Amino acid sequence: MAKITFYLKIYVKILGQDIKSRMSYRSDFIISMVGMILTNVAEIMAFYIMFQNFNSVCGWSYYEMLFLYGFSLIALTPMQCLFENNWNLSMYVRRGDFIKYCFRPINIFFYYISEIFDIKGLGQLGMGILTLIYSWNKLGIPLTFLSMIKLIVALFAASLFFIAIMNFAAASCFYLINTGFLIGTVNKFRDYAKYPVTIFNKGFRFLFTFIIPIAFIAYYPSLLLVRPAEVAVLTWISPIYGILFFYISYRFWMHGVSKYSGTGS
C-alpha cells in the first residue's frame, strides 16, 4: 500500500507539471479539443446517414450501434489520456533519448508513461458519455445498481485491451528497426471496435478476438447491457482476459527495456 501511495504522489506531481506546460499553449489545446469533438460528431453523422438507407447492420439497430460507439469512445479514453507517450517511444529509442529513463530509482514503464497526459482526450470522453446516455435512454435499458456495476467493470476491461494492444505495438521498437509506422497501423484497428464483430467473416472474427482483440473494446462487453440474452462466454471472462493481456503487454514492454542499451554514441 505504501508503494502505491508513493507512485500516486509522484504521478500527481508529474501530471500537474505536464498540464501546466500544455495549458501555456491554450490555443493549441482548444483547437485540438474542438477538432477531436468535431471528428466524433462527423462519425456519428455518418452512422445517421447510413441508417437512413438501412434498417440495421447485421441485425444491429441504429441506437444499438450508437451504444457501441459511445462505449468504445469511453473505453479508448484511458489510452488517449494516460498512455499517449507510447506514440513517442520509437522516436526516443531511435534517437537514444530513452536512456534518461533508465537512471531513475522507479519503475521505468510508470516513469515513461506518466510523463504525458493528453488532456484533449477528455473531449472524446465527454462525447462518449453523451452518446452512451442518449442511446441508453433510447434503448430503454434499466438504470439499476447492477447495470452500473456491469458498465463500470465492462469499461475497465475494455480499456485494458486497447492499452495492451498499443503497448505491444509501441514496444516492438525495442526488438525491430523502423517500427514507427506499426503503432499508427495498429491504432487504425480502433475504428473497427465500434462495429459488432458478427459483421466480419470467420477469419476476421478470430483475428479481432484472439490476435488483435478489438472485439473486447465494445462488442463483447456491451452485450451485457444491450443484448443480455446473447451474452457470450468471452463476455464473462473479458475482465480476467483483459488483466492478463495487459500484464503480458507490460512484461513485453519491460523485457524490451532490458534489451535496450542506447544508441552507442
- Residue-range definition of the domain harbouring residue 98: 2-259
In a domain, 265, yes or no: no
Residue predicted with more confidence, 54 or 91 = 91
Quick one: pLDDT at residue 214? 94
CA distance 164 to 100: 24
In a domain, 79, yes or no: yes
In a domain, 141, yes or no: yes
Lowest mean pLDDT among 4-18, 65-79, 83-97, 121-135: 4-18
Quick one: pLDDT at residue 1? 67
Residue 252: CB partners within 8 Å, gap ≥ 6?
167, 168, 171
In a domain, 88, yes or no: yes
User: What cell does 96 get?
Assistant: 537514444
In a domain, 98, yes or no: yes
- The rounded percent of the chain whose pLDDT value lies above 90 is 55
Lowest mean pLDDT among 21-35, 109-123, 193-207: 21-35
Write down the H helix ranges in the chain: 2-23, 26-51, 62-82, 89-95, 108-113, 121-139, 145-171, 180-187, 202-206, 219-226, 233-259
Structural domains counted in the chain: 1
Quick one: pLDDT at residue 31? 74
Quick one: pLDDT at residue 24? 67
Short-list 90, 156, 75, 84, CA closest to 119: 84
pLDDT band for position 44 (cuts 50, 70, 90)? confident
- Mean pLDDT, to the nearest integer, of 18-25? 69
Task: Say if residues 96 and 261 touch (Cβ distance below 8 Å).
Answer: no
CA distance 126 to 74: 8
CA distance 40 to 123: 9
pLDDT band for position 56 (cuts 50, 70, 90)? confident
In a domain, 264, yes or no: no
pTM of the model: 0.90
Angle at 13 between CA 120 and CA 74, to 5 degrees: 30
- Mean pLDDT, to the nearest integer, of 154-175? 95
- φ and ψ at 143, to 5 degrees? -95, 95
Predicted confidence (pLDDT) at residue 265 exceeds the cutoff of 60? no
